[in-house]
Amino acid sequence: MVMAGKNLGCKGENSQPHNFGSWPWLFQMHGSKNKTCTFFDPEKNSLEERILPEFLQGKACLGCYGEWFLFADELTRECFFLSIISFSKIYIPCFPESPDFFHAVVSITSPPNTSNCIVILVPSRKTFLLVCSPGRKKWMKVPLKYFKKNNGSLYGPSIIYSERLFVMVDLTKTLVIDAAPLIRGRVKMASIMELRPCPIPYYWYTYLVERAGDLFLVLVHSYGHGQTITNVEVCRLELIGNDIHWRRVQDIGDHAFFLSGRCGRSLPANKAWGTQQNCIYLPVNYSDGVRLYKFCLDDQVLTFTFLPENNGGLGRLQWAFPTKIDFWRMKTVQENICNLSDVMRSKKNETDCTIFGKEDENEAVISGRWDEVPIELVELLFSRLSLVDCLRLPSVCKGWSKASRFIPKERVWPWLMHLPNRRYKACNFFDPLYCKEYTVKSDAVVVARDHLTFRYSKNGWVVVTEGNTRVFILNPFTGQVINLPPLPLKNYTFDGISFTSVPTSPDFVVYGFFFQRCGEFVEVSTWCPGEEEWTVLAFQPSIPFFPSSNNPVLFQGEFFCLGRKGELGVFNPELETWNVLCKPEPIYLSEPSYGVEYCYLLELNGDLVSVFRTEETKAPIRVFKLNQSEMVWEHLEHLTGMTLFVDRRNSIAITSPEKEFANRIYVPRFDGGMDSKKGMFYSMDDKRYHPNLHRVEEPLTCVWMEPNLCLHN
């Protein structure tokens, strides 16, 4: 990429690393403070550093078009294109004076050696564009009339597609502008597209990517300033007559998306490069190093690897791709996926719910009427079976489902419920203790598979949202579904959700909590079966409350919410009051940045317990128990025979079924393939993760839940 001379390498005489350009690489310019460029080889997970030629030292790489990379000097503001094939340079006008423009997004209409090349600078949080082209003497400032009538500013991500400029505005709108008139200072607005992403993640990044003639929008949701990725959504541009809009999709075909900065590119996936089709790759500078994330759209699983440590600073990471990319075409590889609807087709399933496991696949043929077996014998049978067999047994006949309430509690522990593939009507359940996975096939589990999110779980019931508007509660094992009325604000805006008891009980009530970002406004929405709409209670407390990303806990008849500093907010459903407790005193003296640390609240043997953890691989997990008599947090070094399962959607504590599982904190991740998955946990004994966070899989649509087969419990 950068090599215009011969003796430019730190190692040997090569001007660039061996195999550079043979597959996608990452490189990092270090600006005026360093004379080197760092090259990362994701396929081999290696790093090499090269001394830059003198004319590239102190330069920042702002973008590229094919083989042409655009560089700008942070001191002199000199700008030019450099070809990574011919090493020829093409100058454009010097960069504007404002240093903020070095962090802007650059869109380029065509190669700079063509007559119709236009360079468009999209500065973040501004209301104008900067436009120039090779041969021009200066940049042209082009105000956008849209902002005269509308509040807001440019967000940054932009792309040239079908001779039009697509640029994001305040995360929710996309301006579509004809590109050609911009060079004459004219703005011809084609249209404005509205996008309403899920409002629960308070931080997200957007990328515009073109793939084989289609335009895609990628939304990467993150948990606060910690940049921990919590969700990834993909939308495709659709034209229906004169109307253009974004539609969420689950497939990008045999391509892979490569994102960095605010730019993205699509390439055919290639096993020789170590890239996988229908996946998205994104490097993120994190507190413990540079992580290369991979998100698989097929199974909604997120993984990351650490790139080798780099001492050159935190410059902008850029992708460099093979220059002969048109010759790298891969045939679509279709995985041999078992169609769950064909499995056990001959068996009658009265609950419309079938469980498949890896073991016990031999079938026995038994004749007779199973519903004539005395219920006492069925109960005895339940007491001697494993939990998995207990879950299978009610499918024998309807009468046996009544005996499922006699499953011993010590045989029930949380499983991780997640969506294995959005194309199939099934959910996976991973047993983290014994490292086994089971599939539940049920039409009731997934009525519509588009954009489902698990929000909360209790007593075997799961709160699920479909898109941003529909909310329902289901029992994936019995197939029962309870639909909730339309949301108060027509979109899912709850910061937390919970309910009092199982949905089939007469005292069942759902509570949704919304906290304004300033911490000075709290809204609690309630719903009971039979009501047609939510009842909304609003509070303006005297003490601001900044909640952690964690659902409230029903404890001794009140809902407790954990704040980011460790303080507690309490809602009393009988008195309909909200209070921020003066005690316990916060664990933190100052307000930590949102998203830097995960905070969990759960009940443990009649006590409230708070858990604090970060995404750093070597940072310890801290556990505190609330001393109810003195109302202070007490630090716990051990869990005394207990096992915790923590997540922002649901956290559960149990008495460990076996000694080897005690004193562990399980997180919603696992390691290994389909036949050898291992649950990931933090040991309170040796204060470290098993296995390491490196390369583990994290299903983004998941929740901890305790199986419950009872129709009325």
Q: What is the pLDDT of residue 199?
A: 40
Q: How far are the Cα atoms of 283, 291, 468, 615, 702 from residue 317, in angstroms, in the given order?
A: 7, 11, 33, 21, 31
- Residue (of 267, 277, 168, 160) closest to 220 by Cα position: 168
Side-chain half-sphere CA neighbours of 53 within 13 A: 15
Kindly report the pTM of this predicted structure: 0.78
Per-residue pLDDT at 5: 33
Collapsing DSSP states into helix, strand and coil, what is residue 103? helix
Q: What is the pLDDT of residue 352?
A: 39
Q: Which range among 43-47, 139-143, 167-171 has the greatest average pLDDT?
A: 139-143
Per-residue pLDDT tens over the stretch 271-287 = 777 788 999 999 887 76
> Is the per-residue pLDDT at 35 higher than 70?
yes
496 burial level (CB within 10 Å; 0-12, 13-18, 19+)? buried
Q: Which of 235, 198, 194 is nearest to 453 (CA)?
A: 198
Can you give the pLDDT at residue 148?
A: 75
pLDDT score recorded for residue 275: 85
Percent of the chain with pLDDT over 90: 21
Which one is predicted more confidently, 349 or 414?
Answer: 414
On the question of pLDDT at 197 being above 50, the answer is no
Strands (E), 385-425: 415-418
Say how far apart CA 527 and CA 472 lie, in whole Å: 12
pLDDT at 484 over 50: yes
The rounded distance, in Å, linking the Cα atoms of 568 and 547 is 9
CB 144 within 8 A of CB 157: no
pLDDT (average), residues 556-579: 92
Interatomic CA distance for residues 37 and 2, integer angstroms: 9
pLDDT at 537 over 50: yes
Residue 2: predicted pLDDT: 35
Instruction: Give the list of residues 6+ apart from residue 695 with CB closer than 8 angstroms, or none.
Output: 303, 304, 305, 671
Q: Are 87 and 80 in contact (CB under 8 A)?
A: no
Nearest Cα neighbor of 612 from 587, 581, 642, 582 is 587
pLDDT class of 340 with cuts at 50, 70, 90 = very low
| pLDDT tens sequence across 433-458 | 988 888 887 665 555 555 778 999 99
Q: pLDDT for 322-338, tens place per residue?
A: 654 332 222 222 222 23
- 204-245 tens-digit pLDDT: 778 889 998 899 989 888 765 556 788 888 989 887 766 777
Identify the pLDDT of residue 653.
93
- pLDDT given for residue 664 in this prediction: 95
pLDDT greater at residue 352 or residue 121: 121
Q: Could you give the CA distance from residue 205 to residue 218 in angstroms, rounded to a whole number?
A: 8
pLDDT of residue 657: 86
pLDDT of residue 527: 94
Long-range residue pairs from 194-198, CB within 8 A, at least 24 positions apart, any chain: 194/245, 195/171, 195/235, 195/246, 196/172, 196/468, 196/491, 197/171, 197/172, 197/221, 197/233, 198/231, 198/233, 198/453, 198/468, 198/492
State the chain's mean pLDDT as an integer: 77
Q: Per DSSP, what are the bridge partners of residue 112?
A: none
Residues 6 or more apart whose CB falls under 8 angstroms from that of 567 comprise 545, 580, 581, 584, 585, 586
Which has more confidence, 651 or 41? 651
Whether 627 has a pLDDT exceeding 90, the answer reads yes
- Residue of 33 and 28 predicted with greater confidence: 28
Tell me the C-alpha distance between 107 and 142, whole Å.
15
* pLDDT recorded at residue 286: 74
Say whether the peptide bond before residue 112 is cis (omega within 30 degrees of 0).
Answer: no
Q: How much is the pLDDT for 339?
A: 30
CB atoms within 10 A of CB 162: 13
Least confident stretch, 359-363, 418-422, 582-586? 359-363
Binning pLDDT at 50, 70 and 90, where does residue 90 land? very high
Nearest to 317 by CA among 64, 594, 57: 64
Q: What is residue 14's predicted lDDT score, i.e. its pLDDT?
A: 41
3-state secondary structure (DSSP) of residue 461: strand
